[in-house]
Amino acid sequence: MGPRILHSVSYSGSWGQAALGVDAFIDKAAALGFGGVMLMAKRPHLSPLDYGKRARTALRSRIEQRKLSTVVVAGYTNFTADLEHSEVPQREIQISYVVELAKLAHDLGGNIVRVFTGYDHPASSHLPQWNLVVSALKECARRVADLGVTVGVQNHHDIGVGYESMHDLIRHVGEPNCQALFDAWS
């Protein structure tokens, strides 16, 4: 079993709780004895829009100084978003986001990007949505493989939420760097 990791969403203030910036969160995780961190890849934490080369280098240095050995970048994807507007390239936007997160993870010394699948959308039946998610995850995995990054698919009120459907989903994606990550509450 790997080191225990702390997810920054717990310190994001998203639900009115106490909030810490990324640097303070890194310090807190180390002070609490965690061996790694999962960094929320959206504002107010680790948005790729806010972390260019200089900021990535500084954050990686802080992570290494605090002796945190595991870095997971937590993406927030929904591959079935906005299906009623097929002219908007949602699938490509989502895949591009995952690729950018993989570059970010790589630059921080990490090798996992956590993603979600897609929420059941009323504009389509289940099978086309399933196929869309499978093909999107397959493309994500292939595009980030050269970075040495694994796409970790987490169950979260979406397609693949149950352990049996998650097993089927990962098997259908069929890429070695696409693996299941389970959220115990789901």
pLDDT in tens, 10-20: 999 999 998 99
Instruction: Kindly give, in sequence order, each residue whose CB lies less than 8 Å from that of residue 8, ignoring residues fewer than 6 positions away.
Output: 20, 22, 25, 37, 38, 39, 40, 45, 46, 74
Work out the average pLDDT over 67-94: 96
The string of pLDDT tens digits covering residues 38-54 is: 999 999 999 999 999 99
Written as one letter, the residue type at 65 is: Q
pLDDT at 3: 87
Residue 184 predicted with pLDDT over 70: no
Q: Before 44, cis peptide (omega within 30)? A: yes
Q: What pLDDT, on a 0 to 100 scale, did the predictor assign at position 160?
A: 82
Say if residue 126 is exposed, middle or buried (CB neighbours under 10 Å; 0-12, 13-18, 19+): exposed
In the predicted structure, residue 185 carries a pLDDT above the cut 80? no
DSSP symbol at 155: P
Provide the pLDDT confidence category of residue 128 given band limits of 50, 70 and 90: very high
Q: If pLDDT is split at 50, 70 and 90, which confidence band does 2 have?
A: confident
Instruction: Note the pTM of the prediction, 2 decimals.
Output: 0.95
Which residues on adjacent β-strands are paired with residue 12?
19
Binned at pLDDT 50, 70 and 90, residue 116 comes out as: very high
What's the whole-number average pLDDT of the chain? 95
